[in-house]
Amino acid sequence: MALTMTKDRDQLAERVGATVRARRKTKGQSQEALAADIGISLVTLSNIERGENVPTLGVFLRLVHLLGIDTAELADAHLTMRRVNRERHQLEGEALELLRNADLRDLKLLVGLAKSMQEK
């Protein structure tokens, strides 16, 4: 389940980044100029455009305003990201509770299962 949420987050970050990059290029604006206009570093903007980071709400709103991005589309993407984060936090809490209550044999099985999932 955690792997799916990570994939969801990655897909969302890529969607937001691709939208920002496409709109910036359509407007003929450099990354340096846009980053300065928004008040973030070039590295931060580059990470957003490559889908490595999802922008904070403040940066998101400045991007929407400066680039004229369809707010409904990206707002939906931002809300989806918040839902994914809430769900992830809840599941992490449940997993920690299970780990705390597991006996040694079950704990070894859970760790082995988690490791095998990471290898996929």
CATH of the domain at 39: 1.10.260.40
Which SS3 state, helix, strand or coil, does residue 25 take? Answer: helix
Are 16 and 77 in contact by the 8 Å Cβ rule? The answer is yes
Give residue 5's pLDDT: 54
Is residue 36 very low, low, confident or very high in pLDDT (cuts 50, 70, 90)? Answer: very high
Structure letter (DSSP) for residue 1:
-
Q: How many domains does the chain have?
A: 1
Which SS3 state, helix, strand or coil, does residue 103 take? Answer: coil
Cα distance between residue 15 and residue 78, in whole Å: 10
Mind listing the pLDDT tens digit for each residue in 48-90?
A: 999 998 888 899 889 989 999 887 766 676 677 778 778 888 9
Q: What domain range includes position 33?
A: 2-119
Helices assigned H by DSSP within 27-103: 31-38, 42-49, 57-67, 71-101
- 19, two tokens: 């939208």
